[in-house]
Structure 1
């Protein structure tokens, strides 16, 4: 039977989500824990998407196929066993059955990322946010971010060797919000190309610092030229914050948690 596993993780010490030979990844740790708990050595997960080295997730979704032992049919007990098997920087949050053809990646209808910026040092968030100790122009940041909304070609904000078939995404929302400790950028879209959010944020920060105008940012987006974008923002401030699916895939009681 196929199951969805919802989880969160601190990506600071991992080389991203996806399994890679000879290096520590979140997916490798999750696969190992599931195999140990369920005693099924061939089990593997498929994630809703990759997160790069050092990137975090408040809500990642992965599917796996397994025959759950009778003793582990209870969700709370299975989650308890997984928590005991996983390192403390990976937290399984929910597990539930899905249809045999439901796919964690291909059936996701929207994903939301957040990027956290601090305006003052915080030793407790040094690996979860970017410190920018100079004022940023919030109005300019939001004027530039607004140009991302709609169906856009994000070639400008993609890695050169991203391996994508195309770079068109439908961006549902993008904007900055002031917080007590700094700013949060939130972007929601049907899909993201590799490296997109960090490159968008890095270039938007140039707008916030006054190095680019919102109009110049829009021209960069339209140029479809990777070399025109600013540098990528550091991974530590980036979170995959929500993955959304169509009706009937995720139980309402589970979806309400995220």
Structure 2
């Protein structure tokens, strides 16, 4: 049996043209494009396993995957990065490839994941694919109050996509807050794990609070209901970014 060494690869991507990270039979995904480039460079089939999934159209400013390479392969970092990035399209960029212990796992070893959701208030052609345009006035203090309530809970079934195959709806939220930027807002949320479609559903509910459709305190009842139909609609994927993944054995801040 051929001996292999496990590596982590760090990358970022603009998700507009892709149906998420994970390879799919009838749609283009980031994983498929990356593995084809790795095959050309290493001249052998390379399988990757990502730190998680992202939905169609969602972006990642930081993403990790692990892969196993034959032990005899020597990697010159500068040469690898130059070559692999020339093989990849302009909307995917690799920043590092490094060896880890053979039992390291990009998905299961992650201790924290952080997302941002971007909103802008004035039409801007340069933000079409990376932010959600809202023309309504929003009550930011109410949205901030509702966002803070989220940190009081652990079961987020109310924000989970229907028929999702989660083994549990428990997530430990560390951050949930809004940041004011010029002509817009950014929602910051981090946790040990997230449910499928969870962040987009949370943002949709918080925006309903901001529009005055529901009071901020209603967030308690929505979360306690564990009923997806009670929460707000999922917001467009264009504004969502996976921004940070933490692991216990290296510092990637």
TM range (shorter): over 0.9
CA distance in 2, matches of 1:84, 1:154: 41
- Choose from 16, 35, 42 the match for 1:38: 42
The answer to whether structure 1 residue 86 and structure 2 residue 88 are counterparts is: yes
- Specify the alignment match of 2:55 in structure 1: 52
- Choose from 183, 195, 220 the match for 1:218: 220
Deviation at 1:22, TM superposition (A): 2.3
CA RMSD of aligned residues (A): 1.2
- Specify the alignment match of 1:10 in structure 2: 14
- Specify the alignment match of 2:99 in structure 1: 97
TM-score relative to the length of structure 2: 0.95
- Specify the alignment match of 2:30 in structure 1: 26
Contact 1:38 1:69 in 2 (8 A): no
Q: Which runs of 5+ in 2 are unaligned?
A: none
CA distance in 2, matches of 1:140, 1:64: 45
TM-score relative to the length of structure 1: 0.93
Deviation at 1:152, TM superposition (A): 1.1
Deviations 1:57-86 (A, max 9, x none): 00011000113766x522121111110111
Deviations 1:30-57 (A, max 9, x none): 111111111112x110000000000000
Q: Which runs of 5+ in 1 are unaligned?
A: none
Contact 1:38 1:68 in 2 (8 A): no
* Structure 1 runs, 4 residues or longer, greater than 2 Å off: 67-70
